[in-house]
């Protein structure tokens, strides 16, 4: 049971960061494309609280983790409200905003891979910090897998996922 809880405590922060960063990318690119909707609703700051949905960001991941006996979890943040009619160039803006979340997830996966490699290279010199390095490497490994999964999941052409706007 202790291992089960420890693993979940490694997964949950990575999942929350990933889905919030995904939605933040949508909000920021929509604002840059001329849509002030997310900004007006307070969804543009880096503060994760406005993006967290109690059901999809907390209860669903915990429930899936428990039901799958620690094998799987998934979650989502509140979708950022976007009004494509406000974009300077409607079609281009819709494509850029829709792809921003996927690009953010892939960037996070690459950064997690870099952290994983750097920690692996530094581990022989870690000494007493070896447990911390191992934990951080585990979180980086989860970040890689989770963000690649989120990126490809969001590319499915099913509304309201990002892929439905890219076709």
* Confidence label for 141 from pLDDT (cuts 50, 70 and 90): very high
**125-133: average pLDDT:** 81
CA distance 70 to 3: 10
* Predicted confidence (pLDDT) per residue in 15-42, tens digit: 999 999 999 999 999 999 999 999 999 9
C-alpha dihedral sign at 144, 22, 20, 67:
negative
pLDDT of residue 75: 87
83-98 tens-digit pLDDT: 999 999 999 999 999 9
Please state, in angstroms and rounded to a whole number, the distance separating the CA atoms of residues 75 and 67.
14
- Which residues have CB under 8 Å from 150's CB, separation 6+? 18, 19, 22, 105
pLDDT at 72 over 90: no
Question: In the structure, what pLDDT confidence band is assigned to residue 82 with cuts at 50, 70 and 90?
Answer: very high
Query: What tokens appear for 102 in the block?
Result: 């996927």
pLDDT in tens, 38-59: 999 999 988 899 998 999 999 9
Q: Does residue 128 surpass a pLDDT of 80?
A: no
What integer pLDDT is reported at residue 7 of this predicted model?
Answer: 86
Tokens of 22: 């995904």
Token pair in block for residue 83: 């009004």
Active site amino acids: 23
Count Cβ atoms below 10 Å from residue 110 Cβ, excluding itself.
13
pTM, two decimals, is 0.92
Cα 66 from Cα 48, distance rounded (Å): 24
* DSSP code of residue 77: P
Tokens of 3: 């291992």
The separation between the first and the last C-alpha atoms of the chain, rounded to the nearest angstrom, is 45
> Which domain covers residue 37, as residue numbers?
2-166
Mean pLDDT of 3-21: 90
Q: How many domains, in total, are found in the chain?
A: 1
């Amino acid at each position: 049971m202790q291992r089960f809880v420890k693993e979940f405590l490694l997964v949950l922060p990575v999942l929350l960061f990933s889905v919030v960063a995904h939605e933040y990318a949508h909000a920021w690119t929509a604002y840059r494309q001329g849509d002030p909707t997310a900004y007006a609703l307070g969804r543009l700051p880096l503060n994760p609280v406005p993006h967290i949905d109690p059901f999809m960001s907390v209860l669903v991941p915990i429930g899936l983790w428990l039901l799958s006996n620690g094998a799987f979890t998934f979650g989502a943040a509140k979708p950022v409200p976007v009004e494509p009619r406000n974009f300077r160039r409607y079609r281009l803006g819709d494509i850029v905003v829709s792809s921003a979340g996927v690009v953010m997830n892939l960037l996070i996966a690459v950064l997690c891979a870099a952290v994983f490699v750097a920690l692996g290279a530094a581990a022989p010199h870690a000494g007493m910090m070896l447990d911390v390095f191992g934990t951080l490497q585990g979180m980086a490994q989860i970040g890689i897998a989770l963000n690649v999964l989120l990126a490809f999941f969001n590319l499915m052409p099913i509304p309201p996922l990002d892929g439905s706007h890219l076709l």
